[in-house]
Structure formats: structure tokens, C-alpha cells
Amino acid sequence: MNILEMIAKAKEEKAKSLELNGLDLRILPDDLFDLEFLEELSLDENMLVEIPEEIGNLKNLKKLSLGYNDLMELPESIGNLENLETLYIGYNSLDVLPDSIGNLKKLKKLNIARNQLVSLPSTIANWQEMEKLSLHDNLLSVLPDALWKLSNLKKLYLDNNSIESISPAIKNMKSLEVLVLAGNQLKEVPAEIENLDSLRELLLDKNDIETLPTSLKNCANLQVISLTENPISPEQVSDLSECLHVKIDT
């Protein structure tokens, strides 16, 4: 069955889910964007370099997966998918995100890992339902203030970027349970991290951290801390480990 037949079948059956993975697609047929009843669409592992503006027609989508393609940009119309809850666009070649992506106010899970992002739009402050955000393996050096406004975020993956500092505004992330910052250029961690009452895992490997704030001792729920390949003193690690009653990997 070729792609047009698959789309025709989905249209006939008014299917809510359609998988078109691994078909070496370079261009998406117009008929695909007539499937307005779709709630899940997967286009992983193809050869797509762009997504047509018509993607915005699929307004009932709750889950969209575009991973492992050759995408260099997203259309502005991505912001029309206001029912989207899960978006996977990892393993592409994106260096920017359209401002309209902030319109996706129902997003709970977003993966943009292993792209070429150098910045994030300020409109991401609208992602107030976001629970899991994967931005690892990009080219981020500065994080926008908007990021720290995601107060319902539980898991944040920022490893393997070029981040030099973390804003004190991280204190607003009261729901954060997992924070991964390994493989960056951090020299310190802000004292305000003590406000992260829900924090369970903190991964800081492969940075330039020489000292940690004493306020970290107030993170009573911390279960895992990893500091391998940092120039921090063994004495400080030992003191912190005793206070938190956890083993710190170094």
C-alpha cells in the first residue's frame, strides 16, 4: 500500500491515528492535510526538509511526531494546532523555533533534542501545562527568562549545550523533579535552587563547577546528585553528601 492509499484509507475510516514512519518521504501529499479528524500523526524517520503550512489544518491533533528527519524550520502554522499535547521534533536540523509555537498552550511533552537551536522564543512562557521538556544536544548558551515561568514543569533536560549560567528565577519551578544540566559550561549553581522542593535528581556532570551553594542542603527530596568531571573539592562533596544523606557521584 503506497502513501496515497494509506491516506485514502484513513480518510474513509475517519481514522484518528496515522503512522507514516520510515517511508523515505521528501514531500507530504496535499491529501494528508484533509484528514481534519486526526488526533495522532507520526512522520518519523523520513527525509523531510520542510513541513507545509497546511499542517495547521489538522486542528484536532493531540500528538505529532516528526523526529529523525532533515527539518530546518517549522511553519508558522504549527501554532494553529492548539489541541496539541505531545510534540516530538528531535533529531532534525532546527536552529530556531517560530514565535507561534507559543500558541500551543496545551503542550505537556515536547522533545526538541539533538537539533541546532541557538535560542528559544519568549512565547514559550505560554506553555503553562508543560511537564516534560527535552532540549538536550543543542547549541543553547543563554536561556530566556520565559523558560523559568514554566511552573508545572517536572522534567527538564538541558544537557550537552553551551549554557554558562542558570538564572535565580529557577526558584519559580516548584514542580521540577528532574534537572539535567550535564555537559555545559556552568561555573556555579544559583542559591535559589533551594526553593525546588520537588527536586529529586540533579545531574551536573562535565561542567566547570568548583563550588555548590550551601542552600542546596535545603532540597530535602534530593535522591540523586551527579558531579563527575567537575573541579569541585572532595571535602565539599563529602559535607553536602552528609547533610542530604545521599551519595554524590563524582
Question: What are 78-107's pLDDT values in tens digits?
Answer: 999 999 999 999 999 999 999 999 999 999
Average pLDDT across the chain, whole number: 95
Last residue of a domain, one of 112, 132, 152: 132
pLDDT tier at 122, thresholds 50, 70, 90? very high
- Residue 195: what are its φ and ψ, rounded to 5°? -80, -5
Phi, psi of 126 (to 5 degrees): -75, -10
Percent of the chain whose predicted confidence (pLDDT) is above 90: 88
Q: Are residues 54 and 176 in the same domain?
A: no
All 3 cell numbers of residue 50? Answer: 520542510
Say how far apart CA 153 and CA 147 lie, in whole Å.
10
pLDDT band at residue 63 under the 50/70/90 scheme: very high
Q: pLDDT at position 187, please?
A: 95
* Number of structural domains the chain divides into: 2
pLDDT score recorded for residue 67: 98
Mean pLDDT (whole number) for 6-21:
96
3-state DSSP helix/strand/coil percent for the chain, to nearest 5?
25, 15, 60
Both 76 and 174 in one domain: the answer is no
Domain C-terminal end among 110, 132, 154 = 132
Domain boundary among 108, 132, 156: 132
Do both 41 and 146 map to the same domain? no
Which pLDDT belongs to residue 77?
98
Cβ burial of 58 (10 Å; 0-12, 13-18, 19+) is buried
Residues 93 and 173 in one domain: no
pLDDT digits (tens, 9 = 90+) for 67-81: 999 999 999 999 999
Q: Where are the beta strands (DSSP E) in 11-97?
A: 17-19, 40-42, 63-65, 86-88
For residues 5 and 113, state if they share a domain: yes
The answer to whether residue 248 scores a pLDDT higher than 90 is no
Which residue, chain included where needed, has cell 521538556? 133
Which pLDDT belongs to residue 1?
80
Burial of 25 (0-12, 13-18, 19+ CB in 10 A): middle
Helices and strands counted in the chain (H then E): 2, 11
Write a three-state SS string for 177-244.
CEEECCCCCCCCCCHHHHHCCCCCEEECCCCCCCCCCHHHHHCCCCCEEECCCCCCCHHHHHHHHHHH
Strand-pair category, 86-88 with 63-65: parallel
Top pLDDT among 50 and 215 is at 50
Predicted TM-score (pTM) of the model is 0.95
- Residue among 242, 200, 241, 239 nearest 219 (CA): 200
pLDDT at position 71, please? 98
CATH number at residue 166: 3.80.10.10
Range of the domain at 190: 140-250
pLDDT at 246: 72
Let me know whether 222 and 245 are in one domain.
yes
Residue 250 has pLDDT above 80, yes or no: no
The CA-based diameter of the chain, rounded to the nearest angstrom, is 68
Q: What is the pLDDT of residue 245?
A: 67
Mean pLDDT of 132-143: 98
